[in-house]
A and B are shown apart, each in its own frame.
Chain A
Amino acid sequence: MTSTEVDDLEAVTDVAVPPATGRPRSRTPGPPPVGRSERIGLLAGVVALAAVVIGTRFGVFTPDTRPDLYQQPGRFLASSLDAWVGGANGLGQANFNAGAAPIAAVVWVIRGLGASPWLAVRIWRLLLLVVGAWGIRRYLAALLGSRLTVAGRVVATVFWVVNPYAVVSASTTPILLPYALLPWTLLAFVQATRQPRSWRWPAAFALGFFAQSGLNAGVVPFFQLLAVPAHLVHARWIERHRWRDLVRVLVRCGLLAVVVSLYWLLPSFLASSTGAGIAGSTEDPRDIARTSSYGETGRLLGNWPLYGRGGARLFLGDYAIYLTNPLVVAASFAVPLAVGISLWRSRARERLLTVALLAVGLPVMVGLFPPDHPYAAGRLLGAVFDRVPVALAFRTTNKVGAIVVLAYVIALAVGVGAWRHSGVARSRRVRVGATAVAAALLLAASAPLWDGGLYPLGFRFPRTWQDATADLDRTGPDGRVLVVPGGAGGNYRWGMRSPDDVFPSLLERPAAVRTTVVGRGDPAGNFMSGFDTALAEGALPARGLSVVAHYLGATDVLVRNDLLTEEINGPSPAAVTGLARDDPGLVLRRSYGKPGTDTVPDTAGPVTERSRQTDRSDSAVAPLLTLAVTDADRAVHIAPASQQILVDGDGGSVIPLARDAITDGRRPIRLLGSLDQRSFATSVRDGGRLVLTDTNRRRAWDVNRVANATSATLAANGDVDSGNGATTTLWPDDPTKQTVTEVTGVASVTADKPGFGLHPFGRASNAFDGDPTTAWITGGFSTATGNRIGIALNRTRTVRSVSVQALPSEPSRITSVAVQVGASQVVQALPPDGTEVKIPIRPTPAERVVVTILGQTPGLNPVGISSVTVDDVAVREVTRLPETLSRLTSHADATTRRRLASMPLDVVLTRAEGIRSDQSDDEEAQLDRRFRLPDDRTMVFTAELTSQGADPVAVAAARRGDRSCRRVALLDGRPLRARVVSTPGQVAEGRLLLQGCGDQKMASGGHELLTIFGWRLDQVRFSSGGAEGASGRSSGASGPSLRLGARTPTRIEASVAASGPGARLFRLGEAFDERWALSIDGRDAGPPILVDGYATGWRIDEHAHRLVATFTAQRAVKATFLLSLAGVVGVVAVVVLPAPSAEDRRRWRHRARHTSLTDGVDQR
């Protein structure tokens, strides 16, 4: 060390070198006292902060987490204690958010003091910011002691509150709360390392960790624990504490923190599958990391929503100033620069702590960046995310930012201290100038605080919603409300934008609504997606809505026409309203609001004259409608098992079952995929009806849309997880229980995934099917270049001729392709008129033929290839139905087979058409199917198609009343003949109904139905009769024969009266979860079964019983809550109560010895 460097060091730290004694010398004298001017400054700062936090968008509700936390804090608090909650779709899910309880308690107190919801948000946030500022002062005082300067303390205080991370990332409570409490928690840890034998500071650490809460499974508090290793480094090498003492401190802090956090740790663990499903369905780790460069995280930004947009709308528009304003950009980059200068100029010992914090915080915050070509650390992190589902909870690595801010604060505090000790700062003019510059930079770096942009997302609940929900609560407090249409959260034209919907905030009753974010293969998500997709695509039959309402136990239907359906490819308000009003099972109660208000897509507010002219139908509907379900059932329901429908398919089968009048919404449904061999035999013994469907299609899903939100139906080996959301396909890893596609003519057809979202239409096989009216479609938003399509031939053969025909799309179309045939490749330009081009290749041996798009003209529309002809190769893609019934039957005993043969059986097939009003988005051009029958059957064939899909000659004949038999399809290679039986009115409407000419004798085993040119069948049904037991309307009940008793979210009591002979199916109405248990007259009924496609249920006998259903995880959750509560009381006592003095301990020891001696005398 040079003498100059030593001088520098001593100038800053006032060092004298005492002899080493071997004892820790860490106790530092206190920081400078708070003077009058600092006090006044702080007071002024708090007032300014309060003015900004409360005054910005005064009166507007700006929730920074779930809105119901502020709207209904009491209910929110109560639900935090439950292991089972309504969840996003209202049908129930395990609760992974128990950690929100302390926050709800505080907000409940704030509301109790008279604050309205919007004010409660502001008060809560102000409280946190003040607590955080206070905490950072205490922390720095403990860390730096007398070396903390007043100027450094002020800079640190202000910077902790006004920095880009506090403004943008900490705009939500799950981040702001741990951010505010981090300094307090670390203060306790620093002091604990200095008193390693004391339990007080570890207890205080535990309290700090407890107060950070376990909101959103405690992800942020866990992230912030990464600050602890840096403090251990500081304690060991700077403060010279022994490892043994530090380990003791670590163990004590960890132990107590776990005890007080058990209440949310256990529920989070129990609900990890739910949480992982949601995590897997929402943001992709690579998308999150797309903006988290060192440059952006260095200036405390990088949080992906800041850079995101949906169409023209920026997700966080008011914060965009951090990207668009040069002054603000420069000021925000001045932050890491100032930190760097501080670290460079200072010689303070806390520099090592700062480096350790940055070494952990910055790389974690950066995460996978650059996501497309990550470095080694990013690749490792990506592998962890890919292989450990629970790790996905930590995918938003930006949340570790508080550690980086803490490092910056320490650096700035010591930097300011160093500067104050330097000669430069002796001039008052320089000090004033520097203060002004620092203030200007801080103001610019926190611009949204001062320019009115602090709350980008805010709204007021419209009167219509308040009135409608109040009326619904009055009319039927017990029953469910079915809300249509579904969506991707609470995104409304009147301003609300949230992943959480409005219902928990306004509605006391439970609401069932489809949400696009579901758990992988979750039955409830599957059921809701099935019917709501049909609604969004215009495929719901006339009674579809009321039938679904019956299955869900909904007594009312709420139609919301103010949802931002235009952003999610949702249905038009007029279409949904029309469907609801025309449903004979629904009765209009009331409409709310003026017609046209917030109901016209791409507009907001009252209807304008222009909207009336451009969108007459949507302008004419009210924002909200409520309808009553006639003869409604409750969610808890019981029905005779003899009326059950055993379906090979999924929850989406309700729609074709309702369409074909197989169910009225009361016949219990059991999905064959959920049955094992034994329960299958029992079910067959109970009786009912068998239905084979082409539902439960193997598809990848997109969470950003509600219609056409999937891939095309995949082959059995297709990647069901290739969407940006979890698949709703049931039993996603067992293709035998799914509807999948199979190709004939080649080994396989493959295509690259579209670069801009999935869609079911334009599947790859369309290019090879010989039909020029269908095409492989890809490349929306100019992403086609590089996309490939190809076939693998059945064997190596000499390919002599290839021709390609581009889809004549506009404005963008494909201009050139590369055709690879074996080892030969030819680049070929394609003409703009879409004519077929013969590729000049020489005969080449090949196993594969691949066409790669090389160019496209400008335009955002998708492009495609209509035809690729390879010699005489003919490709056909056929859809194969689930094979569960066939498999179960093949392993069944003779009795079961005999019973099975006597049951009625239907094969119900539906062509995948996409949106009905759009002729260009059909997934399947033809209804080609393969299915297996369990036994020999005599079937009646019926079908339906539109007149556009029929041979014009046949349509003309039908208009004339011609009922002659015609060949309409091929069944197992033989002509299938049918006649048109439509009434003249139906023909005029364009509907052609077909009736088979005679019965079809079909043997057990596989069958293939292929449609033929001129008869594009939309729906097909093969029916065979049998002894069903009972038919028509179910005699199921939730009324007189089922009486509901006490009910909590995790315990439902009911009693059932005796019924006629035969078993019954008891539907709990809650989403299926194996942790539900039922006791029948005190005896365990065994594991639950899947009933009605989504619900937990049990099969019970015909006798009268008392039933008690419980969610078993609740017991453990309650126990851990009590343990945590006791832990909190204990650690508070340890923190607050004085420790016994040495004199006290001596006296106690003496007394104990004396008592022991006395006891000995007595005993003698």
Chain B
Amino acid sequence: MIEPGNRPSSSAVLVWIAFALTAGALDGYAGGAAAVLVAAVGLARLPAEWLGRVGVACLALAPVSVLVDGLPSDATVSPGFVTRSLTPHHLVFGGFSLLAAWIVIDVRRHLRTTGHLADATVRPDPPDHPRVQAPAPLARLSRAGQLALTGAVAVSGAVIAIAVVLR
């Protein structure tokens, strides 16, 4: 993604083009407008966090738009509630797409700053805490319990299998 303060790299331009195409395919001109906004923020060297702010603002405006249009009564509920105005549709799409753009820019920046994003964001193990493997499922069961559970499943399976075969 285009990063404010820097000359856009070719990879950033490619990512932006992919973003613009996807947004346009998903929400037409509104999606395209979101992509233009992302480019504008980048080219104007504004903080990318602005994208997050605008995204949140879009999400906040969506219910306002719905309420301003008015709510139906039980007697008038119909799909028209959704189709009468596309404004909430575009606002929510725009909100989430701008937030997504902001997050991707932010993550890429960390990645480029540290070289290894995961290392930059993973909490290290405490010195006195040995590195743990992902625990085994049902590791808390005793050996006998494990055997009993497996045996029970196997026996149940056998019973069902016999029933199926005899059927």
Contacts and interface: CB of A to CB of B under 8 A. Distances in A.
B138 A1122 contact: no
Interface in A1107-1137: 1118, 1121-1122, 1125-1126, 1128-1129, 1132-1133, 1135-1137
Interface in B67-93: 67, 71-75, 77-79, 81-83, 86, 88-93
Contact of A359 (B82, B100, B102, B146): B100
Given A28-B122, A290-B83, A1138-B143, A1125 B160 contact: yes
Contacts of A237: 107, 111, 117-118
A238 B117 contact: yes
B42 interface: no
Contact of A352 (B63, B77, B103): B103
Contact of A204 (B71, B122, B129, B137): B137
A326 interface: yes
Contacts of A323: 71-72, 77, 81
A376 B110 CA distance: 33
Given A294-B92, A344-B55, A369-B89, A336 B153 contact: no
Contact of B150 (A15, A142, A340, A1132): A1132
A1062 B161 CA distance: 45
A9 interface: yes
A307 B77 contact: yes
B104 interface: yes
Contacts of A296: 82, 88
B161 to A, nearest CB: 5
A27 interface: yes
Nearest to A1139: B136
B166 to A, nearest CB: 11
Nearest to B113: A1
Interface string B148-162: 011001100100110
A43 interface: no
B7 to A, nearest CB: 17
A1125 B121 contact: no
Interface in B21-50: 24-28, 31, 49
A333 B117 CA distance: 33
B56 A340 contact: yes
A1129 B151 CA distance: 9
B27 A294 contact: yes
Nearest to A194: B134
Given A13-B123, A291-B79, A344 B28 contact: no
Given A294-B90, A337-B60, A377-B25, A1048 B82 contact: no
B137 to A, nearest CB: 5
A19 B115 CA distance: 10
A363 B26 contact: yes
B157 A1128 contact: yes
Given A324-B72, A375-B27, A293 B62 contact: no
Nearest to A6: B113
Interface stretch (A308-316, A702-710, A1065-1073): A308-316
Contact of A15 (B92, B102, B120, B164): B120
A329 B71 contact: yes
A436 B78 CA distance: 33
A28 B132 CA distance: 8
Q: A81, A293, A317: which has the most chain B beta carbons within 10 Å?
A: A293
Q: A295, A1122, A1129, A1133: which has the most chain B beta carbons within 10 Å?
A: A295
A325 interface: yes
B71 A147 contact: no
Nearest to B116: A20
A1140 to B, nearest CB: 13
Contacts of B109: 1
B117 A343 contact: no
A1135 B137 contact: yes
A337 B88 CA distance: 13
Interface in A63-110: 78, 81
Interface string A237-255: 1111000000000000000
Contact of A240 (B91, B116, B123): B116
A27 B157 contact: no
Contacts of B160: 1125
A309 B106 CA distance: 46
Nearest to B163: A81
B118 A239 contact: yes
Contact of A1133 (B117, B136, B154): B154
Contact of B88 (A293, A307, A363, A1129): A293
A27 B137 contact: no
A358 interface: yes
A20 B157 CA distance: 48
A312 B102 CA distance: 46
B134 A191 contact: yes
Given A376-B24, A1136-B150, A314 B77 contact: yes
Contacts of B74: 314, 317, 320, 324
A620 interface: no
B18 to A, nearest CB: 11
B42 to A, nearest CB: 16
A511 to B, nearest CB: 23
A293 B154 contact: no
A849 B127 CA distance: 89
Given A290-B82, A344-B56, 13 more contacts: A25-B118, A26-B118, A27-B125, A195-B134, A237-B118, A291-B83, A294-B88, A307-B82, A330-B63, A334-B63, A344-B102, A351-B107, A1133-B150
Closest 7 A-B residue pairs measured CB to CB? A295-B88, A333-B63, A344-B52, A293-B89, A298-B92, A349-B121, A240-B118
Interface of A: 1, 9, 13-20, 24-29, 78, 81, 142, 145-147, 188, 191, 194-195, 200-201, 204, 237-240, 290-298, 302, 304, 307-309, 312, 314, 317, 320, 323-326, 329-330, 333-334, 336-337, 339-341, 343-344, 347-349, 351-352, 354-355, 358-359, 362-363, 366, 369-370, 375-377, 380, 1048, 1118, 1121-1122, 1125-1126, 1128-1129, 1132-1133, 1135-1139
27 contacts: A1-B113, A9-B110, A17-B119, A26-B122, A27-B134, A28-B122, A191-B134, A195-B134, A238-B121, A294-B96, A295-B66, A295-B91, A296-B88, A302-B82, A314-B74, A329-B66, A329-B71, A336-B59, A336-B92, A343-B102, A348-B121, A349-B117, A352-B104, A376-B28, A1118-B167, A1132-B150, A1137-B150
